[in-house]
Each structure stands twice: as structure tokens, then as C-alpha cells.
Amino acid sequence: MSTRFTDPRAARAAARGEAERVRAEAESVRAETRRAVAEDAARRAREERAEREQRSRRRAAERRQRLASAGGWIGAHPTELLMSVIVVVPALLAWSAMAAYGVDIYGPLGGVLPLFSEGAMWAFAFSVHLARRQGRPTGWLHTGVWTFAAVNAALNFLHGFGASGVVTGLVMALVSVGGVVAHQLITAAPMRTRRSRAEREAARTARISQRRRVRMERDAVRRSVGELGADGSIRLRHAPGTVTLGRGPLGARRLRDAVVPGLPPNGSQRSEETDPGEQLAAEIGRWLSGESAPSEPAGTAKTDSATSTASDSGTTDELSELVARTRRAIEAGELNPRPSRRAVQRHLGIRATTAQEVLRALRGRGGDGRAEVAA
């Protein structure tokens, strides 16, 4: 049996050495931890400092921008800035005076009296401004502004008159409405450029023309006739022509037929029978052009349509076109099967002699004095 000898001193020394090594390692760990914590704190401090500096720079930039905007607005609106003093000062004076007057009449609760007099007036004034900017009508809003301005002036006059007399009442009344009058003149009045004299004259001529046109259209409706349809509806029919406005026996305006040089008298309301003067003029025209006058009364002679066309309407093609239009109008029911010269003249808008030739061409084809139309 073998025995092992252990030196107690050596064991204690080894234990002390091991303990020292453990303590050294723990100290090293603690030092590393402290260093990491210090570095993290320094990093956070740097980040917070950078963030504070960034916020400070941003606030400074915003202040500079606000100051620049305010300076730009002041530079662009010097008139509005000066006029605001005229608007605000009278409003403050009138508000305080009316509050005191309300307290004298109603007691402590009367201090809210300016909300009725001053407040209502200014509410309508600002509503006018907003409505004008949005393009909405402002007529009734203007009525509200001046109605409550009159109420406010009356209340302030009564206050000043009861306190010191007429002069004080007038001063307080004028001051109470001075602010809103200045506001309306500055913001609510329509702004437009001054027109030249030529533009004003042209606008005046256009208004006169429009009024005359409306009067003539109204009288044309009064003298129109109705065409009854199969469904019972009425269609107004008018006789085309050249007309003017005249006055009747009682002074009422009414349309009258007018003769204008260069325009055919296709709107005349005379008899449907052929005018002897027009018939004589047609015969003279044919005689001057080298043709013989018809031996039979107009509308009964069987004349050649080509010869008639060459004398009055100019060419055979033009007369043929007029005859075709007349025939289509008869087929459509716009003209009677035996139309008169006046009816053809009004429908085609031609001269009386040309209308007579159209009738001769129509009736000459039938041979019996009856227009040749489709059934």
C-alpha cells in the first residue's frame, strides 16, 4: 500500500494563486463592461447632441421662412396693412361703447350686446367677402350688411344722444359704421378695369340692339298664327319678311312692314292678288329685253317656260330649280295645290316677277291652268 504526501504550504500557495487569477479575470471583465457602458453613453450623448443641433437648425430655418413670408406679404400688401388700422380701430371703439351701453340697460349680461349689433354687421361683411371669392351671389348678403349697419348706427346714436347730445350721438354713429364701410370699399367692391370710350359705345349699341330685338320678337309672337297638329299641339307660324317697330293708334309698339332698298318685299302683308303695277313692271322689263308681252292675263297663258326664264330669272336652270322647290313644297303640304303668286314669292324669297314666271312654268306644264304636282 502506497501513500502520497501533500505539502500543505504548497496547496495553500496554489489556492492563493488560483484565487488571484480568478480575481484578475473578474476585474478585467468589470473593466471591459465599464468601458463598454462609457462608450455607449458617449455615443448616446453624441446622437442627442446632434439631434438637438438639427432641431435647432430646423427651428431657425422655419423662423427665417416665417419672417420672410411675413415680410413678403407686408411688401406686397402695404395698402391692406394700412387700411386694417382704419377697419380695426373704429370696430374696437364701437364695440367697447356698445358693451358699456348694454351694461347700463341690461346689467352685467348686457355686455354681450355688441355681439348683436357689431357682430351681426361684421358677420355679413365677411360673408360677402367669402362669397365673392367663391363666385357666389352676394345680393342678400349686402342687404344684411347695410341693414345691421343701420341698426348699429341707430343704437350708437341713441347712446351718444342720451349721454351728451346730438353731436356725440352723430360721432358715435359714424365711428360705429366707419370700419365696415372701409372694409366693403377695400374688399367687397367689384374690381374691373376701366373700359375705353370705343368699348363703352360698342356695349351701349349692343344693349340697344338687344332691347330692340326682344321687342320685335315679342310683337312677332303676338301677331303669329297657330298651326294645329294632329296631336292637338300648336306650332306658331310667322310670315317672313322685313319689318320695323312702329306705334299704333294708342301708342303701343307693333311691327310694321318695311321696304328696304336692295331687299325683296317678301314680308309684305298685302293682298294675294297680282299687283297691276308689278305686272306692268314685268311687261316693261320683258319689252326692254327684246321679248313680246304675253297676250293673255298672267297665270292663264300657256307660255314656254324656257323663254320666261331667260327674261326674268336669268337662266333656265335657275327657274327649273325654283319650279322644283315649289313642287316639293306643294307635295309636302307647305303650299296649296293652286298657290298664289304671293305665297310662292314668300316661300322662295324671290321677286314678284320671278314668282309669276314660276307659276307660269308650273301651270303651263298641266295645260289646263292647274299645277302639275304629285298626289
**359 falls in which pLDDT band (50, 70, 90)?**
confident
Amino acid at 209: S
Return the pLDDT at 210: 92
Instruction: Give the number of other CB atoms < 10 A from CB of residue 373.
Output: 18
Task: Judge contact between 287 and 293, C-beta under 8 A.
Answer: yes
Return the pLDDT at 287: 61
State the Rg of the chain over Cα: 52
Work out the mean pLDDT of the chain and round it to a whole number: 78
**5 falls in which pLDDT band (50, 70, 90)?**
low
Beta bridge partners, 257, equal: 243
- Select from 79, 336, 67 the least CA-distant residue to 182: 79
Share of the chain above pLDDT 70, in %: 78
Instruction: Give the number of other CB atoms < 10 A from CB of residue 254.
Output: 15
- The larger pLDDT score, comparing residue 185 to residue 56, is at 56
pLDDT one-digit tens code per residue, 65-107: 998 888 888 887 777 777 788 888 888 888 889 899 999 888 8
Residue 193: C-alpha distances to residues 107, 199, 201, 359, 370 (Å)? 52, 12, 16, 61, 68
How far is 319 from 336, CA to CA, in rounded Å?
20
**3 falls in which pLDDT band (50, 70, 90)?**
low
* Grid cell of 68 as nine digits: 420672410
How many Cα atoms sit within 13 Å of 138 on the Cβ side? 20
How far is 367 from 358, CA to CA, in rounded Å?
15
The C-alpha torsion from 36 through 40 and 43 to 45, rounded to 10°, is: -130
Residues sharing a CB contact under 8 Å with residue 341, sequence separation 6 or more, in sequence order: 272, 274, 298, 299, 352, 355, 356, 359
Using CA of residue 43, residue 45, residue 49, residue 51, what is the dihedral sign?
A: positive
**371 falls in which pLDDT band (50, 70, 90)?**
very low
- Among 29-43, 264-278, 354-368, name the most confident range: 29-43
Is the confidence at residue 16, as pLDDT, over 80?
yes
The C-alpha torsion from 340 through 342 and 347 to 348, rounded to 10°, is: 100
Cell numbers 344693349 label which residue? 207
Return the pLDDT at 348: 82
Mean of the pLDDT values across residues 159-174? 90
Give the lowest-confidence range in 2-11, 18-27, 213-222, 325-334: 2-11
Mean of the pLDDT values across residues 210-226? 88
